[in-house]
């Protein structure tokens, strides 16, 4: 019996989780790990990266087996691409334009399909998320981000 991918959606999701987990784990190797009681800056990204990679591996294993084959509709990839573009835009803008502008781009891409039909809802999501992020991360935790 040959193993084959019977659920391509799960295979893609598992591969993405594994790639993000591996990137987080590898990207945090330059920092000090520390211990569970005295965590260093690499502790959280490495633990999260390992957990994401394990979740991805379990999802990928679930995709292999003798089930019915699901076809991936091209329209199903659009939300994935929009979220990836939003996260990439956030990453590129947070240091250059500030936290609020980065959140605006993230929300605009993530809610791209709802902007025309429910603009007030999308605006409310942006205002609440930006206000909460500025209050918690900049004012509360004192993280070195610019708001604007």
Q: Band of the pLDDT at 39, cuts 50, 70, 90? A: confident
Distance, CA of 96 to CA of 94 (rounded, Å): 6
Distance, CA of 148 to CA of 135 (rounded, Å): 13
Clarify whether residues 88 and 121 are in a common domain: yes
pLDDT above 70 as % of the chain: 93
Clarify whether residues 51 and 95 are in a common domain: no
Clarify whether residues 105 and 62 are in a common domain: no
pLDDT at site 68: 58
User: Of 71, 105, 122, which residue constitutes the final position of a domain?
Assistant: 71
- In sequence order, the 6+-apart residues with CB closer than 8 A to the CB of 24 are 45, 46, 48, 49, 52
pLDDT at site 52: 93
Tens of pLDDT, residue by residue over 73-113, are: 777 788 888 999 999 999 999 989 999 999 999 999 999 98
Clarify whether residues 50 and 100 are in a common domain: no
Clarify whether residues 43 and 11 are in a common domain: yes
Q: How many separate domains does the chain show?
A: 2
pLDDT at site 136: 93
Distance, CA of 137 to CA of 15 (rounded, Å): 31
User: Of 9, 44, 71, which residue constitutes the final position of a domain?
Assistant: 71
Using an 8 Å Cβ cutoff, are 94 and 37 in contact?
Answer: no
Distance, CA of 56 to CA of 32 (rounded, Å): 26
Clarify whether residues 79 and 96 are in a common domain: yes
DSSP lists the bridge partners of residue 34 as: 39
User: Of 20, 41, 71, which residue constitutes the final position of a domain?
Assistant: 71
125 vs 36, residue with greater confidence: 125
Distance, CA of 94 to CA of 116 (rounded, Å): 26
Q: List the alpha helices (DSSP H) in 64-118.
A: 74-93, 99-110
Clarify whether residues 84 and 121 are in a common domain: yes
Clarify whether residues 2 and 54 are in a common domain: yes
Burial class for 29, CB neighbours closer than 10 Å (0-12, 13-18, 19+):
exposed
Instruction: Give me the domain span that covers residue 114.
Output: 73-148
pTM of the model: 0.59
Q: Band of the pLDDT at 117, cuts 50, 70, 90? A: very high
Q: Band of the pLDDT at 129, cuts 50, 70, 90? A: very high
Tens of pLDDT, residue by residue over 6-22, are: 788 888 999 999 999 99
Clarify whether residues 21 and 80 are in a common domain: no
Clarify whether residues 55 and 77 are in a common domain: no
Average pLDDT of the chain, as a whole number: 88
Clarify whether residues 79 and 139 are in a common domain: yes
Clarify whether residues 20 and 46 are in a common domain: yes
């Amino acid at each position: 019996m040959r193993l084959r991918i019977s659920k391509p959606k799960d295979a893609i999701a598992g591969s993405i989780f594994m790639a993000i987990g591996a990137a987080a784990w590898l990207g945090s190797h330059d920092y000090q790990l520390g211990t569970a009681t005295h965590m260093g800056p690499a502790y959280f990204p490495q633990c999260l990266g390992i957990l994401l990679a394990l979740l991805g591996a379990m999802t990928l294993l679930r995709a292999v087996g003798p089930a019915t084959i699901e076809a991936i509709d091209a329209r199903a990839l659009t939300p994935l691409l929009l979220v990836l573009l939003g996260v990439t835009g956030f990453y590129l803008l947070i240091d250059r334009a500030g936290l609020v502008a980065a959140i605006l781009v993230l929300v605009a891409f993530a809610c791209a399909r709802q902007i025309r039909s429910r603009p007030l809802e999308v605006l409310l999501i942006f205002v609440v998320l930006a206000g909460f992020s500025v209050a918690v991360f900049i004012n509360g935790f004192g993280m070195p981000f610019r708001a604007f």
